[in-house]
Amino acid sequence: MMLSRYTHENLISLLGYCNEGGEMILVYEHASNGSLDRHLSSTTLTWSQRIRICHDAAKGLCYLHEDKGNHRVLHRDIKSSNILLDENWKAKVSDIGLAKVGPSNMYTFFIATTVGTLGYIDPMYLRMGFLTKESDVYSFGVVLFEVLCGRLCFDKSNAHSGNIVHIWKQRYEENKLDEIVFKDNRVPALDQSSLEVFSEIAFQCLQESREKRPKMSEVVEKLEIALKSQELADFIQKEYEEIVKAAVPPLIYISEELKVLLSKGVILNGGKTVINYSA
């Protein structure tokens, strides 16, 4: 029960367990909105919500990776179905039953029998059996692209479709993200600045070389930047549309120029009205 010691707002909490009469039962907190994989193509989630979910999950995984005295934890099965959402859409990493707990000074584990889910497993871990924190980072990168594209990394309805992560990576390298990014007329578009930051960190997570993959702490930082950029874009779209239309000289809608202007504040009506938004 060592893993029960690890508590964080972005990890599903183990509430209790029972081992009586030949029955072994674990009791976890309930996540009323289910798992992330069920909401990838949802039109009710905004891009801010989607990025916030990723940011939450990244913080949970980062916590597991941190050196905690004598031990460190590797999840080994990061995927969208193992990211649960509570009633407020806060993301919590779950299913750490396959997690590997090892000494804090041990950075690589050799696993004779690979565990995890195909499509999300680090290729190096799959081929060689060497497990590191970067193996989790790769899996999380797959989840980020799933959120970006609004679909799973494989097609359950077609056994011959296979994994499409390599296609997503190729589209990124070809600067053709527009072909794969989730779009729906009922969901306001993803802010360009947010897209650039989000897609870049997702792509870095999927690097073949483990040395080129970011730490989870870096992923958390980049997703926070992407989230703030998207929240600012949403705020501008909702509150400042008329200001943009009436501006003289005209400003490009949701441009970097406007973001800088609003972050510093705008004074209207002879100084009687102050409008400010700080990301």
For the chain, which residues make up each domain, given as ranges? 2-239, 245-279
User: For the whole model, what pTM was predicted?
Assistant: 0.82
* Mean pLDDT taken over the chain: 83
Active site residues: 77
Mean pLDDT value of segment 179-187: 93
Options 1.25.10.10, 1.10.510.10, 3.40.190.10, 3.30.43.10; CATH for 2-239 is: 1.10.510.10
| 10-24: average pLDDT | 83
| Segment among 38-52, 71-85, 218-232, 246-260 with least mean pLDDT | 246-260
The per-residue pLDDT for range 150-170, each reduced to its tens digit, is: 999 987 655 555 789 999 999
pLDDT in tens, 255-273: 556 666 665 565 555 555 5
| pLDDT in the model for residue 84 | 98
CA end-to-end span of the chain, whole Å? 41
pLDDT given for residue 126 in this prediction: 85
